[in-house]
Structure 1
Amino acid sequence: MDLQAIPGVGAKTADALGSLDDPEGALERGDVAAVAGAPGVSEGRAARIVRNAIRVRHDDPGGFLATDRAAEIHERVLGLLQERAVTEYARQRLRTFYPSAADSRIAEVNAFVADAMQRTPRDDVLEALAGVEPLSAPSGVSVRERCVATTDAETYSDAAAAFPELSVEIVEDARDLAELARGYTTVVALDEAFVGVEVEGDVRVEPDAMERPAEVVPERVLSFFAANRDRIRAAVSVHEAAGIDTDVDLDALDGALAHLEGDGSVAGDDELDRLTRAVNDLDAAVSDAESVANDRLREAIGEQDVTIEGADLLSLVERGAGVDSLLGRELADEYDDAVGAARDALEEQLGLRGEAAKLARRVFGDEPTFPVARDDDAMARVRESLTAARDRRAAGRKRELAATLADLRAPTEALVHDALEVDVALAVARFAADFDCVLAERGGRGFRIEGGRNPLLDVAFAETEPVEYGVDGVALLSGVNSGGKTSTLDLVAVVVVLAHMGLPVPAEAARVPAIAELHYYAKSQGTLDAGAFEATLRDFASLTERVADDEGGEESAASRLVLVDELESITEPGASAKIIAGILEALHEAGASGVFVSHLAGEIRDQCGFGVTVDGIHAAGLEDGELVVERSPVKDHLARSTPELIVEKLAEADGAVGEGFYERLLEKF
């Protein structure tokens, strides 16, 4: 796919998307999270890019929501869907569902919905979903104890790009390599020329290292899994709770994660733990060992009676000897015992063995001193030995664990993505269940809704009275104020929008026309000025015209559904009836479908040059000042107005003052 062929994707954004591992695949599967992983692309923008890519794939020109009110209806039903999602990913993913005229797109979503509606939104699955998020790539991973070395400038540039986590060094010969080995725990040499060269330290000649990044920088894999460990485990819980199969060996994945600390280090290795503790506790252990030696020696001195003859004392003074010489002469054995105890204590406390244990015995020298003091140089060599051993052990364990996790990365990414998609499906399932939805049929000139209930009303959905209504061609809808005309019009818009999104509709059954545009005009707030009135007439004029399509043919006005709420408010009542009648005539002749809500239905019918259908929401009367209406419009029925109902009630009242007056008024209706 040419990324710049997607509307809204310019050269800069295309370059950003190109940095993804598989941008085409991400767009194909609607993976908003993956697209949002491109530099500078937010989740909201990623949803728009995915939506536009879908349009390109289905050759969909867009423009279905042709008016502000139609777009508002779409946003509100989309909001109902998003409210039923657990994850932010699902909420953004649901934004890629849009009303379309493309049969292939609607069929694609219908197939997804049919599967989603078979799912049961269980509480344990929803709870597990709360911990699932798209996987993130950790930044700022830096490894200081390891470096890469080469003699070639071009190789240097390639290595710097391949291993941003490591220091890459230029060397000239083995001497430079040896110098690096003194400053780094491990040096990876990339040149074959170094094969067979013996250098002190951990120097590895690996010309193919750039082909095996997980072995050279296992921290890259480990940091990824460490940063996403909780999300991965939550995704595993979703699969287990929902009983979904996966390509991941969950036991192997769980076992590998159990050996990984939150900072990316390796856990559960006794030898590594021993070496780490030895490095961390070295200073304290040496201080404790010093105390052991000095306490032992102080006790020995306190118990010893030392007698020095005058000649011996004079000899010691003449030689400049001090306490150490006296100690060596009189308490040599006691000193050796004290230092031996200190060495044993140090070795035991740190759990030293091998080379480190040998070096540690030199921390306390054989020459008698009091108090007994550490040899700082010897102590530094112990620290270096322990640190190198720890780092080598850690690197080895990291390579082993990274090798396991590297093989699991791709299926784990699929595991998390599939868990997030479960949330999308369950949001649709919950929407369908909450609003008693079915998939609608598409085709024909008009629409038919059976048992439809408007989910946008400010009442509990269960308390909403079901409505049955259908129109072929154009029709007028009449009814009393607050009788439900606007909510019926909204219901038609909701059903049409959802059906063209490929989503289920809130009805027992429904059929909608296969249209390319929905024009829904909301009730105007007051009379329009001359300029706005003229613009409104131009809008309606364009609806009746045939326009050229992309193939050079023509798109008929029949591909549009027009819903209008009380257009008469745009100008004077007398003129409104004539104008609306003219609009209806033009739409009828063009083969369009539509419903016009109006209080002037009778007057408009009289002005129309064809037998326009007038439907009405029947009002049975008034009870305790409240309207009693049948919400489903009655076909070919001009509904009575609220004033007529009030006059009728007054006229029928027994003994009412002015009874004849009310009857005379009633005859005027």
Structure 2
Amino acid sequence: MDLEAIPGVGAKTAERLAALDDAERALTDGDVAALARAPGITEGQAARIARGAIRERHGDTSRFLRTDRARELYDDALALLQERAVTDYAKRRVETFYPSASADRIEEVRAFVTEAMARDADPTVVEALSGVAPLADPGGLRVRERCLATSEAETYARAERAFPELSVELVEDTQDLAELARGYATVVALDESFAGLDLPGDVRVVPDPEARVDEVLPERLLAFFAENRARLLAAADAHEAADLDAPCDLDALRDGLDRLDADGTVKGDAELGRLQDAAADVDAAVSTGESVANDRLREVIQARDVTIEGADLLSLVEQGARVDTLLDRELADEFDEAVAAAREHVVDALRLDDHADLAEGVFRDDPHFPVERDEAAVSRLQSELDAARDRRAARLKADLASDLNALRDPVEALVSAALELDVELAVARFARDFECVLPTFEGRGVDLEGGRSPLLDVEFAEVDPVDYRVEGVALLSGVNSGGKTSTIDLVGLTVVLAQMGLPVPAERVRLERFDALHYQAKSQGTLDAGAFESTLREFGGLVTDEGNRLVLVDELESITEPGASAKIIAGILESLDEQGATAVFVSHLAGEIREATGFDVQVDGIEAVGLVDGELQVNRSPVKGRLARSTPELIVEKLATAEDDAFYDRLLGKFAE
């Protein structure tokens, strides 16, 4: 795939995407999470790139949303979907849905939506999804108790690139290798020439480390599972709650995660726990052992009467003897018993089941007081326990990594499926919340039955349904606050959703597949000369455009004087009619425009049925072929009916002229 052919992807972005393991699949599937793993690519950028890739795949180069108001309707539609998504991924993923003129793209989304609408957004599923997120790659991993060793410069460079978590050492011969083995719990030799040699310590020969990563560096895989534990468990729960077929054995996954601690170490192994405790407690155990020996000796010395004849004392003094000599001569057995007790304490305290011999040298055999540790022997004991602990941990890590390795790819699919489920449920909840149906693409224009806008500032259940059919060019008239703007908003939103491939909030919808949507929102007051000219230029470009377009315009007459506005709008309608466009112009000047138009323009009306307690009562569905009465006419009619006054009758008669 030519990455730079994707709209919005330049050379630098293409280079970043190329760093992904499978950029083409991610682009084809619209996998925003995978694309966001590319260096320097945010989730927002990933959504735009995915959308561009979809456009490129379908040859969808046209711009459907031609005005700011049209784009606002699209943003509103996206927001309604995103509000019903649980995960950040799904909120971004729905951004890959966009209104398109491509029949293939629309049908692609409709196929997805058809399956999604059959989903049940059970609260248990939604709760489980709240903990799901794209899998993260842990960073900053460093393993210090193991190193790689090689005598070849090329192998050294390759190992440094492949295993940045480990130290890589250059060695010349087996002597260098043996020296390394004294400083590391495990040395992994990468040269075949070292195979079969008898070396001290834990030295392994692995000539092809890249093919045996889980053996050489099990911490990498374990760190991945530890980092993503919560996400994986949530995804497993979501699969079970939604009764989805999982791509892996969920019990095996949970068992593996139960054996893994938050820092990527293996938990639950008694022997490793013993060695960890022993290595951590060496100094404390030896110090207590010293106290045990010295307390016993002190008690013995205090209770013992020692008689030394003068000649012996003189001889000892002449020889420079100290109390140690007296201990050796008078209390040798007691000293041996005290040291034995000290050693026994160290063995018991550290539970040195298979390292008891190392405790023998911790206290010297020659009588002396106070009894003190042999620092070299203590250091050897510490080093041996550290190495035994690290070797045990490495074996356990390798075993667990071997078990989890088979789950590495399936858990990617597990989380991906859970995230896509959230996208489906967002669509399903949208469809149910707003009682949506999939529209039918046939015929001309838009035919809407029982449509209700979810964009109004009232509860959706309280929205009055609207029936409206538009074919060709029409003027929409009606009283103030009667729902003219909300009606064309509903028409625009219906077309946007339909051409995104999504369901629409109505009982039934039939429409043609449009090439573009132009929606000119209501202007805020009369425009100055420059702004007025700019607006006319926009409409000049609109009427010379090609393709079947839907044009929605809200009270264009507000841009200038009413008389001139009616003539301008009439001219625009004539051009759109000649091109066979579908258009709805909302206007309070519908009668004047109709008179100025050179063809029999359709005028529809949102009728007010009367005033009740000062409140306007309106039939929200436009009536075809009827110019709606204004609010002032209704008020005058009410007064003429209620009051016996010729003045009101005269005013009412003016409306009929």
Query: Normalization by structure 2: what TM-score?
Result: 0.98
Partner of 1:494: 493
Amino acid corresponding to residue 587 of structure 2 in structure 1: S
The answer on 1:205 being equivalent to 2:197 is no
Partner of 1:163: 163
Amino acid corresponding to residue 533 of structure 1 in structure 2: F
Q: Which runs of 4+ in 1 moved over 3 A?
A: none
Partner of 1:340: 340
C-alpha distance in 1 between matches for 2:210 and 2:65: 52
Partner of 1:535: 534
Which of 633, 644, 652 is equivalent to 1:666? 652
Deviation for aligned residue 1:299:
1.7
C-alpha distance in 1 between matches for 2:277 and 2:611: 86
Q: After TM superposition, list the pairs within 5 Å mapping 1:140-289 onto structure 2.
A: 140-289=140-289
Query: Does 301-310 or 336-345 show the bigger shift?
Result: 301-310
Partner of 2:608: 619
C-alpha distance in 1 between matches for 2:449 and 2:395: 68
Write out per-residue CA displacement over residues 34-91 of structure 1, whole angstroms, 9 at most, x where no aligned residue: 1111111111111000111111111111411110000001101110110111111110
CA contact (8 A) 1:444 1:514 kept: no
Write out per-residue CA displacement over residues 361-410 of structure 1, whole angstroms, 9 at most, x where no aligned residue: 21011111211111111000000110111111111111111111121111
C-alpha distance in 1 between matches for 2:160 and 2:8: 34
Partner of 1:39: 39
C-alpha distance in 2 between matches for 1:53 and 1:276: 53
C-alpha distance in 1 between matches for 2:320 and 2:56: 97
The answer on 1:567 being equivalent to 2:556 is yes
C-alpha distance in 2 between matches for 1:630 and 1:366: 108
C-alpha distance in 1 between matches for 2:49 and 2:210: 34
The answer on 1:635 being equivalent to 2:608 is no
Amino acid corresponding to residue 347 of structure 1 in structure 2: V
Partner of 1:61: 61
C-alpha distance in 2 between matches for 1:443 and 1:291: 96
C-alpha distance in 1 between matches for 2:431 and 2:71: 21
Write out per-residue CA displacement over residues 264-306 of structure 1, whole angstroms, 9 at most, x where no aligned residue: 0111111111111100111111111111111222222222222
The answer on 1:644 being equivalent to 2:633 is yes
Deviation for aligned residue 1:513:
1.9
Partner of 1:361: 360
Partner of 1:446: 445
Write out per-residue CA displacement over residues 423-445 of structure 1, whole angstroms, 9 at most, x where no aligned residue: 11111111111100011112322
C-alpha distance in 1 between matches for 2:287 and 2:219: 35
Aligned-partner SS, 2:447: strand
C-alpha distance in 2 between matches for 1:382 and 1:512: 83
Aligned-partner SS, 1:668: helix
Q: After TM superposition, list the pairs within 5 Å mapping 1:546-585 onto structure 2.
A: 555-556=546-547, 559-585=548-574
Aligned-partner SS, 2:188: strand
Amino acid corresponding to residue 634 of structure 1 in structure 2: V
Amino acid corresponding to residue 20 of structure 1 in structure 2: L
Q: After TM superposition, list the pairs within 5 Å mapping 1:320-399 onto structure 2.
A: 320-354=320-354, 356-399=355-398
Amino acid corresponding to residue 273 of structure 2 in structure 1: D
Aligned-partner SS, 1:437: coil
Write out per-residue CA displacement over residues 523-576 of structure 1, whole angstroms, 9 at most, x where no aligned residue: 011112222222222222222325xxxxxxxx43xx210000001111110011
C-alpha distance in 2 between matches for 1:568 and 1:229: 62
Amino acid corresponding to residue 501 of structure 1 in structure 2: M
CA contact (8 A) 1:132 1:235 kept: yes
Partner of 2:585: 596
Deviation for aligned residue 1:653:
1.5
Deviation for aligned residue 1:310:
1.5
| Aligned residue pairs, count | 655
C-alpha distance in 2 between matches for 1:638 and 1:526: 24
Write out per-residue CA displacement over residues 315-341 of structure 1, whole angstroms, 9 at most, x where no aligned residue: 211111111111111111111111111
Query: Does 171-180 or 486-495 show the bigger shift?
Result: 171-180
C-alpha distance in 2 between matches for 1:629 and 1:392: 82
Query: Does 197-206 or 397-406 show the bigger shift?
Result: 197-206
Query: Does 335-344 or 524-533 show the bigger shift?
Result: 524-533
Q: After TM superposition, list the pairs within 5 Å mapping 1:398-547 onto structure 2.
A: 398-545=397-544
C-alpha distance in 1 between matches for 2:238 and 2:293: 60
CA contact (8 A) 1:148 1:166 kept: yes
C-alpha distance in 2 between matches for 1:156 and 1:364: 44
Amino acid corresponding to residue 82 of structure 1 in structure 2: Q
C-alpha distance in 1 between matches for 2:377 and 2:436: 79
Amino acid corresponding to residue 129 of structure 1 in structure 2: L
Deviation for aligned residue 1:609:
1.2
Amino acid corresponding to residue 405 of structure 1 in structure 2: L
Amino acid corresponding to residue 667 of structure 1 in structure 2: G
Query: Does 133-142 or 531-540 show the bigger shift?
Result: 531-540
Aligned-partner SS, 2:160: helix
C-alpha distance in 2 between matches for 1:371 and 1:156: 52
C-alpha distance in 1 between matches for 2:155 and 2:224: 27
Question: Gaps (5+ residues) in structure 2?
Answer: none
C-alpha distance in 2 between matches for 1:234 and 1:292: 53
Partner of 2:5: 5
Write out per-residue CA displacement over residues 469-490 of structure 1, whole angstroms, 9 at most, x where no aligned residue: 0111110000000000000010
The answer on 1:653 being equivalent to 2:653 is no
Amino acid corresponding to residue 99 of structure 2 in structure 1: P
Query: Normalization by structure 1: what TM-score?
Result: 0.96
Deviation for aligned residue 1:592:
0.3
Aligned-partner SS, 2:321: coil
Query: Does 537-546 or 11-20 show the bigger shift?
Result: 537-546
Question: Gaps (5+ residues) in structure 1?
Answer: 547-554
Aligned-partner SS, 1:95: helix
CA contact (8 A) 1:265 1:398 kept: yes
CA contact (8 A) 1:149 1:171 kept: yes
CA contact (8 A) 1:55 1:62 kept: no
C-alpha distance in 2 between matches for 1:293 and 1:537: 104
C-alpha distance in 1 between matches for 2:210 and 2:462: 66
Aligned-partner SS, 2:187: strand
C-alpha distance in 1 between matches for 2:204 and 2:62: 59
Query: Does 309-318 or 488-497 show the bigger shift?
Result: 309-318
CA contact (8 A) 1:44 1:92 kept: yes
Query: Does 149-158 or 254-263 show the bigger shift?
Result: 149-158
